[in-house]
Amino acid sequence: MIPLLSKLYGPFFDLNNWHNVIFSEDAWVVILSLVLIECLLSVDNAVVLATQAQVLPTKKEQEESLFYGLWGSYIFRFIIIGLGVFLIHIWELKVVGGLYLFYLVYAHFAHSDKQKKSMFKQSANQSNRKRFWMTVLQIEFMDIVFSVDSVLAALAISENPVIVLMGGLIGILCMRGIAEVIMLVMKKVPELKTMAYFLIAVIALKLILSIPMIDIEIEPLHFGLIVLVTFIVTFIIHFIRKAKR
């Protein structure tokens, strides 16, 4: 067991490896490329995280949930990079993640605003902190689901785990910033919340279609176009409604 752990995680504790990476221009070119890939692959993750955090009643709790989720992501990314090639076999994780996202969409559209407000009020009175930590756990779970593709893409570019780790950590930080921006825009454009749940349904379908038995990949460019078109349509609807009011 110890030799296996040493083989998987030994490079992370090799100071010479860290020194070579930090002071290598070529390594930083690869790291910046990995950061860009992480951000592109994590657009869907940012939408999901922003929507999950919106459930919490205060801005402070929303930011805290993303903060705790950030540290959880760092710890998990360290673990998952060591596992590396074994990730390709964890297709069941994508199915569970996809079904969970479909459940979120169903739960959102199945209840009226009045029902959701009363449910939220009761939950807040009973245990605000419990709801907070449940949200953090949901954020962590979705990070695990979305990390699979990011890590595999990164390992295909560089086999040095230190380079992959640094690119992933910086990318996660950028992605969290994107999630916070989405939350701020959601407050000014309420229609974005409905748009977010539509995108979550698309993301869930994307996850399930990518499992080996189906093996249909929605290219990042195509998914990016779906997100862009959805944003444009949502803003058009928002401004039309605003003009009527």
Interhelix angle 191-209/43-53, nearest 10 degrees: 130
pTM of the model: 0.64
**Cα–Cα distances in angstroms (integers) from residue 233 to residues 67, 131, 186, 237, in the given order:** 31, 33, 15, 6
Q: Considering its fold, how many domains does the chain have in total?
A: 1
Distance CA 65, CA 104 (A): 18
Contacts 24+ apart (CB under 8 A), 222-227: 223/43, 223/44, 224/40, 224/43, 226/199, 226/202, 227/43, 227/44, 227/47, 227/199
pLDDT tens digits for 110-150? 864 544 443 344 444 446 778 888 888 888 887 777 776 67
In tens digits, the chain (245 residues) has pLDDT values of 667 667 667 777 788 888 888 888 888 888 887 787 677 666 677 788 888 888 888 888 888 888 888 888 888 777 777 776 555 556 777 788 788 889 888 887 886 454 444 334 444 444 677 888 888 888 888 777 777 667 766 766 676 888 888 888 888 888 778 787 877 888 788 888 788 888 888 888 887 888 888 888 777 678 778 888 888 999 999 999 888 87
Q: Residue 240's pLDDT is what?
A: 93
Question: What is the Cα Rg of the chain in Å?
Answer: 19
Q: Residue 80's pLDDT is what?
A: 75
Q: Residue 239's pLDDT is what?
A: 92
Element (H, E) at 245: none
pLDDT tens digits for 78-120? 777 777 655 555 677 778 878 888 988 888 788 645 444 433 4
Of 51, 52, 31, nearest in space to 192 by CA: 51
- Note whether 14 and 194 are within 8 A (CB): no
**Cα–Cα distances in angstroms (integers) from residue 22 to residues 29, 134, 174, 219, 220, in the given order:** 11, 37, 20, 32, 29
Residue range of the domain that includes 222: 2-244
